[in-house]
Chain A
């Protein structure tokens, strides 16, 4: 009540004729929205707690529930949006930094949607992936052109450490702690079956999952949580996380409520303590420091594993990537400003960084201009939503893509964007045992495998249409892309022509 009262954002609409008072909704909602009044034998509702995660809707056996956007609105104002006003109320009350989860939801250009893909007609035949081989295998890492011959003239076929992917998609970093044990197990098992990789994120690797090491990328972030020698050696590659698209320039924050049991053990920090990773790595204040960490990790892993460096897409990303390429990194991950997060300050998430499409195009071109593109692989990250986005990213110049939000959605996430609350009703972004058990790793991994298999087939169809039968011939093949409704600057940066040209 009073100034700060906000009418709930969502309303629960219960169809009384359909409702059979089975109380499943009550049980499924960890937020306590549905309250059964046994005396009156009917439901009361506390809509202020509803986050529109759709859990009750999906599990209502009689389809009696729906969640709708409340129509109780402030007076319309094109400058002072309702969300802006409400955020001010919140801050005036609490004095706090606003927190949000998942990627930037604001109306900013999604360049993927303004890029169209080519297909063959007449002069060059499309290739039918049902009848001809269509290759999606990708190797990530340094591609050395230095041919060394042995005394008998044969080529010395020693290759630098590489990651081999059956398709150009991997599961991006999501820490154990930010997501559940079962979610991690689902990702690990799916990655193994699919012949791709998942990423531990900055929370260390649970001892149960060392067996998936061949399909695991272990992350070293500024907090160094869970980092030790065995951990570095457990994975197929080591990723140094310098930044994240959702929150460039700041560190991570996992609330103490999520640091329980194995999470605390895996992170190697006390239970209940907030895991706050610093904004910078305190041993990396410049590019030459990064080089030292890259080589420290290479030394620790006997030069057997590629080292990845993940950075957020910021204004000067092309020059930064060039520096990283020259610092010994084998793979550069660029995370665009729409990338997801388990928790980030709202202002940062919504205002800092640049779109992955522009960053990727700029970096790929810059590395080519400098003649060092083959020294590193590029992974594009930050809201890759479909097989079409993957194809466009590869054609712009990526070697592979990272997906995280899409993987979460496959496991049940309905994008309610309340991961920071720790009460994920889908059992993903939570550590509460009664919730985490809702995600069965058998189902989770199967759904991830299904999703990636579907994408792989779609990628093959699109490639075949272009007359391309191997993914490497698509990489950087910008002639296969056209822009629609883009201005000249955007086209120039993307390095593509406008549709019709």
Chain B
């Protein structure tokens, strides 16, 4: 049987997210519990979380979370990292032995800082170096997989039900101002740790529920720009597209949303002249990145998150709020678990981005 990455595996899913507009910290336990009522939306073949603001003591360093098959692979990979980065801290990510999670790989994290000399010789900025390094390790170092690479944020994922994954990674010990979570329902795979969500590059993380019908059009388009889709998952390609649009093309989150979930032409024609011009421009010039088919995604980034549905709203996604917090989930039940008194619960329309940013830089 082919492994993930050698074959494309569609999957259904559950997603949840919470963010404090004021940047107040929440323990990872909150989001872990949110996944419990959505248990049946996963099938035990993948769960994961992304937390933002969780590494304040290392906030100036890129935090690489890496799965290794073996000690030898780890040594090789570390050697490779050291060519471009100073490793200021290397450690095993603490986990709990629980019966629900087995067969774990070696799970390490590194806090690193790129060498200025390398940046200068390659004539790129440090984010680009990090992105290239991640891509290089994931495609060419057999048995190593970087699953998190942002600053002051981290991804935690495993094969299992999401609520167990949270316990496994001791998420109650992490404090973040923003969390996203994912439970996976892949259709034909034994499940692989790297294939679980969130999928991340730099500080962009994506949790996604859906199966996009535009996959190969999007994949073949984004691969032109130096990205390599090694997993063949929707989440991977969406993350790369968002990275390309936002980091490399400097588009805003809203502009990027109007590319991947572009309004219908009939909607565009009903807008005022200026808006029409902008939407037509974005849709025409970046037409390869239109995503069709069902999806609900939460894109996490440093300082905020964006929730977005496909333009027909073929997947459930609701938003609620309470005080400084905004909640997003596939089902209202998940929101109620996090905050029984959540208010203003509503289902955003298809293609309508919900962008929440923390008020000050954290």
Contact = CB atoms under 8 A, between A and B. Distances in A.
Contacts of A373: 221, 224
A398 to B, nearest CB: 12
B70 to A, nearest CB: 31
Contacts of A371: 224-225
Interface string B212-242: 1111111011011100000000000000000
B349 to A, nearest CB: 14
Interface in B215-272: 215-218, 220-221, 223-225, 249-251, 255, 262, 264-266
Contacts of A125: 294, 314
Contacts of A132: 312
Contacts of B10: 123-124
B312 A469 contact: yes
Interface stretch (A92-100, A454-462, A474-482): A474-482
A155 B288 contact: no
A137 B288 CA distance: 14
Given A123-B10, A368-B220, A371-B225, A479 B215 contact: yes
A368 B224 contact: yes
A480 B249 contact: no
A473 B217 contact: yes
Contacts of B277: 157
Nearest to A466: B213
B293 A133 contact: no
A467 interface: yes
B187 interface: yes
A373 B262 CA distance: 21
Nearest to A501: B7
Contacts of A480: 213, 216
Contacts, number: 116
Interface stretch (B21-29, B278-286, B317-325): B278-286
Contacts of B11: 123
Contact of B286 (A137, A145, A467, A470): A145
Give the interface size bracket for A toward B: 35 or more
A466 B217 CA distance: 13
Contacts of A473: 213-214, 217-218, 290-293
Nearest to B262: A470
Nearest to B215: A479
A426 B331 CA distance: 64
A331 to B, nearest CB: 14
Contact of B293 (A147, A149, A468): A468
A207 to B, nearest CB: 33
Given A125-B294, A135-B264, A477 B285 contact: no
Contacts of A154: 278
B213 A124 contact: yes
Nearest to B250: A147
A120 interface: yes
Contact of B287 (A123, A133, A472): A472
B39 interface: no
A132 B314 CA distance: 12
B295 to A, nearest CB: 10
A127 interface: yes
B8 interface: yes
Contacts of A145: 249, 285-286
B211 A155 contact: no
Nearest to A158: B281
A147 B251 contact: yes
A468 B314 contact: no
A470 B290 contact: yes
A144 B284 CA distance: 9
A373 B220 CA distance: 10
Contacts of B215: 477, 479
B40 to A, nearest CB: 16
A472 B211 contact: no
B260 to A, nearest CB: 10
B288 A472 contact: yes
A90 interface: no
Contacts of B287: 139, 143, 472, 475
A368 B223 contact: yes
Contact of A470 (B187, B216, B278, B292): B292
Given A155-B255, A472-B217, A139 B284 contact: yes
Contacts of A120: 213, 293
B12 interface: yes
Contacts of B251: 147
A141 B278 CA distance: 18
A277 interface: no
A374 interface: yes
B312 A159 contact: no
B264 A374 contact: no
A436 B294 CA distance: 52
Contacts of B294: 124-125, 467
A468 B213 contact: yes
A162 interface: yes
- Of the candidates B213, B249, B282, the one having the most CB atoms from chain A within 10 angstroms of its own CB is B213
A467 B288 contact: no
Contacts of A469: 292, 311-312
Contact of B264 (A133, A143, A475): A133
A157 B281 contact: yes
Nearest to A147: B249
Interface string B295-331: 0000000000000000110100000000000000000
B241 to A, nearest CB: 12
A368 B213 CA distance: 20
Given A123-B211, A473-B213, A155 B281 contact: yes
Contacts of B285: 143-145, 159
A63 B202 CA distance: 75
A477 B217 contact: yes
Contacts of A467: 211, 213, 292-294
A470 B288 CA distance: 11
A475 B288 CA distance: 8
Contacts of B250: 147, 149
A155 B278 contact: yes
A371 B216 CA distance: 16
Nearest to A372: B224
A476 B214 CA distance: 9
B292 A374 contact: no
Nearest to A138: B287
Contacts of B266: 133
Contacts of A137: 265
Interface string A375-402: 0000000000000000000000100000
A149 B11 CA distance: 39
Contact of A123 (B187, B280, B281, B284): B187
Interface of A: 120, 123-125, 127, 132-133, 135, 137, 139, 143-145, 147, 149, 154-155, 157, 159, 162, 368, 371-374, 397, 466-470, 472-480
User: Which 5 residue pairs are nearest across A and B when measured between Cβ atoms?
Assistant: A473-B214, A479-B216, A467-B213, A157-B281, A477-B217
9 contacts: A123-B11, A124-B294, A145-B286, A157-B281, A467-B293, A468-B293, A473-B214, A473-B290, A479-B8
Interface of B: 8, 10-12, 187, 210-218, 220-221, 223-225, 249-251, 255, 262, 264-266, 277-278, 280-282, 284-288, 290-294, 311-312, 314
Given A372-B224, A472-B287, 19 more contacts: A120-B293, A124-B210, A124-B293, A133-B266, A135-B264, A145-B285, A147-B251, A157-B277, A157-B278, A373-B224, A397-B220, A466-B213, A467-B213, A467-B292, A467-B293, A473-B218, A474-B217, A476-B288, A477-B216
